[in-house]
Chain A
Amino acid sequence: MIKVNSRDFEWQEGMTVQRLLELKEYTYVKIFVKINGAIIEKEDYATTMIQDGDDVKVIHLLAGG
C-alpha cells in the first residue's frame, strides 16, 4: 500500500510514476509529483519506481476555474 495525496492506494510491483498516473487517470497537464517529499521531474516519470509504503503527492495546479 502507498499513500497518494494522503489516501491509501494499492501498490503494484514495478509501479512507476507514469503507471501510477495512468491508474489514477491523472491526465491534467499542470501537475507535479513528489515521492517522500522529493520532486520528480516530468522526464523521469517513466523510469522512477515507486516503492511499497511511499508517500506520493500528485498536485494538480488549478485553483482558478
Chain B
Amino acid sequence: MDIKALKEAHSLLAEYSYEPAKLDKGYTDKTLYINIGENKISTKTVTPEIKEKFIGGKGIGLKYLWDATKPSTKWNDPENEIIIAGGPLCGITQYPGAGKSLVVTISPMTDIPIDSNVGGYFGPYLKFSGWDALEVQGKAEKDVIIFIDGNKGIVKIEEAPLEAVDGHVVSEQLTEMYAESEEDKKNISVISAGTAANHVNIGLLNFSFYDIRRQVTRLKQAGRGGIGKVFRDKKIKAIVIRFKGTKGDLNKPADQSLINKAGITLHKQIHDLDDVQCRMRQIGTANIIEVMDKYDLLPVHNYQYGKHSDTFKIASDVFIEKFITQGMPDGCWFGCSLSCAKAADKFELLTGPYKGDLVTVDGPEYENAAGLGSNCGVFDPQMVLEANFYCDTYGVDTISFGTACAFAMECYERGIINKDITGGLELNFGNGIAQLELLHQMSRGEGFGVLVGQGVKVMKEVFVKEYGADADFLRDIGMEQKGLEVSEYLPKESLAQQGGYGLTNKGPQHDEAWLIFMDMVNNQIPTFEDKAEALHYFPMFRTWFGLMGLCKLPWNDTMPADNHLTDEPAKIPQHVQHYVSLYNGVTGMNIDKHELIRQSERVYNFQRVFNIRRGKGLRLHDAMPYRAMGPVTIEEYESRQDRYDQQLRELLDYNPEGKTTEEKIKVMRDYRYDQYEKLTDAVYKRRGWNTNGVPTIEHLKEIGIDLPEVVEVVKQHL
C-alpha cells in the first residue's frame, strides 16, 4: 500500500477553515454543509427551535432533508442529501452505547427517508470537531474524499482517483494516510461504502474505528435502505475525520454527576450479570440464534419456517469456540462495557478477489447469521462469516441481501426462475458458494447478482414482467414492504410483530418494535388496544435513541437483577430513568419519562408526514406480504398443522376435520388479514392518526409539531 502515491494523486477542489465551535450542554449549535457538486462548504446555525422540535440525530437529519428536497426529489437527484448526526448525548463515555451516528437520506429502495443507526467513532469526532451534523449535498464529477480535521479546523474536498472503494481496504488506506503517527490512528474515523454499492440498491455505509489491540481498522455499518448507493452515486469515495483529544467531559454536560451515577450503576450490572444474561461480551447479538430457533422464530428458507434441525451448526457457541477471538471484548465507542463488538481474527477467505487473505471480520451479528445463514438454508459458519465479510467490504446490507437471496432461492426451487436466468447459478437453499458468487457479481456489476441486489421489490417486478411469474404469489412470498426487506425474525405467529414491522415509518426493520415475546409467548398484550399501546410506546421509546446518538442494546440486552419486581418489567424502568438522567445531566433540562416519549412523538410524526409529502405514508403502504402473517403454501401450513387447526377451532369456531389444506389456508388467511386491519385501526387511533394513517392536526398541535409546512401537507389528506 503506497500511501504516498495515493495522496500525491489527490487534487484539492475546495478548502474551508473554521474555528471549531465550543460544545455546551451536548451541542455545538453549528452544522457543516458541504456541496460536492459546487465545491461549496459553509456553516449553519442550529436554532433553539430546531433543538426543541427535532433534538438531534435523525431528528435534525429529517428536518434538513425536508428543507433540502422537494416532494418530487429522487434519490439520485443532486439535491438529495446524506445527513450524519449524533445527538446531544453522543460522545459521552461514562454510559455504554453513546457513540452512535444517525444517517438520513432519501432511499433508492423506498423513495422515502431512511434512517440508519451506526457505531464507530465518526459521530462523536464530528461533534468534538465542532459540528452537530454533517450535511452533504450535490454530486461530484469524479471520485472525491471529504476530510475534516477537527483540531486544525479545516475541511477539504479532494479528488481521489487511486484509493480502493471496498470498505476494508479504503478504511485502512485513509487511516494510514491521515493519521499523523501510529498512535494517532485511533483519532481517525472513515466512512466508506464498497464496490457493490456502485451497482446495487442495497448498498450500505461502513463507519470505522481503529482497534489498537488488533492494529486493524474495524467497520460498523449503517446498513438499511441503500445509503451506500446514494453515497457512491454522489461519487464520494470516503469521508474522513480526525480529532485528537477525546475526553470524558467534551460534551460539557450541565451536571456530570447525574451521568456518572447512571453509568456506574450500569457498568456494575453488566459486570455482574452479563455472563448469565445475554453474553454480549462473548458473542454480542448472535447470542439469540439458537433462542430464535427454539421459539420457532428463526427465519428458514425465506421465512417459510421458524426452525431447522441444522441450526446447531451456526449456534452462538460455534462462533465462540471456532471463530470469535475471546478475551478481547470491545465496544464501538469508548466506555461501552457491554462490548458487543467482536471479531473473527485471521479469518482466511476462500473465494473472491481477496481469496487467501487473512482478514478481521466484524461479526456475525444475529441478523447476519439468520439472514445469510438459516434464511438461505446455509448452515455453515465459515460461509456465513465469509458472506458477512464480503457484504461489509462491498458495501452490501446483510439484512436486505439475506432476505433478497432467500427470495431468489425460493423462486429458483419453485421453478419460477431457472439456470438460464441465473446465469448458471444453482440457487438452491443451502448453496453458500452460489450466495457468495451473487455478492462477487454485485461487486463486479455483472450477472444475476446485480438484479438480486436491487432488492425483492425490483425482482418481483422483473420476474413477473420478464418471466411470467404469478404476481399474487410473489406478492405473498416476497418479504419486503415499502421497498425494504423484512429483517430476520419470523412474525407469522405474532400479530403485534406484524404491526411492529408493518406500521413503521421506514419499512420493516425491527428497531421500532420487537414484541414477539410479549405477544406470542407471554400473552401480555392480548387485545387490539393492548397491542396498540405497545406499538405506540416502544416505537416512540426506541426512536429516542436515534435522536440522542445512543445504542439500544444497553437498554434491553442487560437488565437489573430485580427488574422482574418492577411494575413494567418489559420497559426496564430503571434504564428508562437512566436515560432521563443522562438527558437532564447533559442538557440541563428537566424532562421526565413522559416528555422523553413526547420528544420522540414529534419526530416520529414529522417523519410520517414527510412520507405523506412524498406520496407514501398512508394505510395502503402499511400492508404486509402474507408470508409475514400466515402460511402461504401447503408445506407451511402442514409444518404447523396442529397449531393452525387448533386456532381454527378456538378462534374461528371452524372445524378443520375433513377439510383440505387449501380450504384451511383460505379461512386462516381471511381471518389473519382481518386481524391485521383491526390492529391497524387500533394503532392509528392510539397514535393520533385517522383511519388512513394521517396524523390529525389536533394531534400535531397536542404534541407540538404543528409547523405550517407540516400542517399544509396533512390538510390535503384530511
Given contacts A5-B522, A5-B523, A7-B523, contact A62 B565 (CB under 8 A): no
Among B70-78, B434-442, B556-564, the stretch in contact with A: B556-564
Cα–Cα distance between A27 and B564 once the two chains are bound (Å): 17
Cα–Cα distance between A39 and B565 once the two chains are bound (Å): 8
The verdict on B569 contacting chain A, using a C-beta distance below 8 Å, is: yes
What sequence of 0s and 1s flags, for each residue 230-266 of chain B, a beta carbon within 8 Å of any chain A beta carbon? 0000000000000000000000000000000000000
With a 10 A CB-CB cut-off, give which of A27, A57, A61, A63 has the most chain B CB atoms. Answer: A63
Contact B555 A32 (CB under 8 A): no
Query: From residue 46 to 61 of chain A, which have CB atoms closer than 8 A to chain B?
Result: 57-61
One of B294, B489, B521, B564 near A65 (C-beta < 8 A): B489
Chain A residues near B569 (CB-CB < 8 A): 32, 59, 61
Contact B556 A62 (CB under 8 A): yes
Chain B residues near A6 (CB-CB < 8 A): 523, 526
Contact B557 A63 (CB under 8 A): no
What sequence of 0s and 1s flags, for each residue 536-565 of chain B, a beta carbon within 8 Å of any chain A beta carbon? 001000000000000011011101000111
The verdict on B291 contacting chain A, using a C-beta distance below 8 Å, is: yes
One of A5, A30, A32, A57 near B278 (C-beta < 8 A): A30
One of B514, B524, B552, B571 near A62 (C-beta < 8 A): B514
One of B277, B295, B489, B538 near A63 (C-beta < 8 A): B538
Given contacts A5-B522, A30-B278, contact A62 B564 (CB under 8 A): no
Chain A residues near B654 (CB-CB < 8 A): none
A29 CB, min distance to chain B CBs, angstroms: 6
A37 CB, min distance to chain B CBs, angstroms: 12
One of B295, B510, B553, B564 near A28 (C-beta < 8 A): B295
Cα–Cα distance between A11 and B489 once the two chains are bound (Å): 31
The verdict on B354 contacting chain A, using a C-beta distance below 8 Å, is: no
Cα–Cα distance between A28 and B277 once the two chains are bound (Å): 9
A60 CB, min distance to chain B CBs, angstroms: 4
B597 CB, min distance to chain A CBs, angstroms: 15
A39 CB, min distance to chain B CBs, angstroms: 7
The verdict on B671 contacting chain A, using a C-beta distance below 8 Å, is: no
What sequence of 0s and 1s flags, for each residue 479-500 of chain B, a beta carbon within 8 Å of any chain A beta carbon? 0000000000100000000000
One of A25, A26, A65 near B510 (C-beta < 8 A): A65
Chain A residues near B514 (CB-CB < 8 A): 62-65
Residues of B in contact with A (beta carbons under 8 Å apart): 276-278, 291, 294-295, 489, 510, 514-518, 521-524, 526, 538, 552-553, 555-557, 559, 563-565, 569-572
Residues of A in contact with B (beta carbons under 8 Å apart): 5-7, 25-30, 32, 39, 57-65
**A28-B517, A64-B556 known; 6 other A-B pairs, CB under 8 Å?**
A5-B521, A7-B523, A29-B276, A58-B522, A61-B563, A64-B555
